[in-house]
Amino acid sequence: MRILQVHQINQVAYTYGEDLERRGHYVEVYEPSLVGGLAPLPVKMAFMPWRVLDMRHVVGKLNRSHFDIVHIHWASYGVLGLASRIPYIVHCHGGDVRHRLQHPLSRVMLEPVLRRAAAVLCVTPDLLPVVRAVRPDALLSPAPIDRERFAPAKNTADEPSRPWTILLFARLDLNKGVDIALEGIVHFVKRHVGIRVQLLDWGSLKGEYRQRYGRYFEFIPLVVPGEVEQLILSADVIVGQLALGALGLSELQAMSCARPVIASFRYDDAYPTPPPICQAATAEEVDERLEYLFRNPEMVMSLGRQAREWIIENHDHRVLAGKLEELYQSILLEK
């Protein structure tokens, strides 16, 4: 097959592309222009002609002379599918549909994109109810994790001693529940001297939190993708997002590294077995889970091993690429 992957959010398109190429397929990854993409709406609209012009170059390739199928990550880029002469898949990743499908104007723009797609996929189970309001047959296609790269430390005995470390591994935005997480972390740290707490210096609340906690906690600049695993392995416990009830890429990568994760997950029936994490939805529960793990280092190791095994069973990139290949083939057989 000749496959076009559109938009490399969280390296997912590249991960699938490499695996599909190993299976004998030809894959290209096209990255639309992101100029003005994070700007306020008036500025974003001002850049729209430039972005449309940029997309014009790929629209001419959306036919059987160049590709057999196109896999579009991020629903708003699905407008490319409307101009396509080959089947297209829309893969929803969160912010592209979670609130936009509730907004009348955005919904009007997204509905034809989703309805005409050969298949619609969701990367996390919390998106399924939202998307199925438009596409009842939407499927869960979770994030692929490279378990060889995101692996436990090999020589832990040789590691230099360091303080017991908590990594709040989430963007500093309210919709991630970081306010709840930090309240629980602060309660825990007040009882224990010498605990190191690390936060990502990223998100709408980073300035406020740096001012409030900068003297006590470490704010870590965004690292390049190749250094994420080292950041995870530098921590004993990972605290993830608490508000959405689903596991994001950060939590999954941490689990693959055999680190225990404190997070909220409310979709146990989405997988054959629920993820082995420390469930928490309140500041008190975050505090309690940290206390338990701090006092029981053997559980830190055990929970980490269970977490990695679960990732291998449910998020291995090669297995998921195989399922994607089967989906592509079934779509092309119907055409």
Q: Tens digit of pLDDT per residue, the chain (335 long)? A: 999 999 999 999 999 999 999 999 999 999 997 655 555 545 555 555 555 567 777 999 999 999 999 999 999 999 999 999 999 999 999 999 999 998 888 899 999 999 999 999 999 999 999 999 999 999 999 999 999 999 999 866 556 688 999 999 999 999 999 999 999 999 999 999 999 999 999 999 999 999 999 999 999 998 998 899 999 999 999 999 999 999 999 999 999 999 999 999 999 999 999 999 999 999 999 999 999 999 999 999 999 999 999 999 999 999 999 999 999 999 999 87
Nearest of 229, 231, 209 to residue 220 by alpha carbon: 231
User: Do the domains 156-314 and 2-144+316-334 match in fold?
Assistant: yes
What is the reported pLDDT for 48? 52
* Pairing mode of beta strands 2-6, 119-122: unpaired
DSSP helix/strand/coil, 316: strand
d(CA 333, CA 335): 6
Contacts of 221 (CB under 8 A, 6+ apart): 201
Query: How does 222-232 read in b/e, with b if 16+ C-beta sit within 10 Å?
Result: eeeeeebbebb
The token pair at 51 is 């972005």
> What are the residue boundaries of the structural domains of the chain, listed by start?
2-144+316-334, 156-314
CATH 3.20.20.140 given to domain 156-314 = no
Nearest of 283, 11, 242 to residue 149 by alpha carbon: 11
What is the reported pLDDT for 159? 60
Phi then psi dihedrals of residue 107, to 5 deg: -65, -40
HSE at residue 14, side-chain half, CA atoms within 13 A, is 7
CATH topology of domain 2-144+316-334: Rossmann fold (3.40.50)
Instruction: Please state, in angstroms and as integers, the Cα–Cα distance from residue 203 to each residue in 10, 12, 67, 174, 199, following that order.
Output: 16, 21, 38, 9, 11
What is the reported pTM?
0.91
d(CA 19, CA 24): 9
> What share of residues in the chain are helix, strand, coil (percent, to 5)?
50, 15, 35
Q: In what order do the strands lie in the sheet with 119-122?
A: 26-30, 2-6, 69-73, 88-92, 119-122, 139-140
The token pair at 65 is 């002379």
Instruction: Please state, in angstroms and as integers, the Cα–Cα distance from residue 327 to each residue in 67, 158, 253, 333, following that order.
Output: 16, 45, 25, 10
What is the reported pLDDT for 78? 94
Chain centroid to CA 327: how far?
A: 21
What is the reported pLDDT for 56? 77
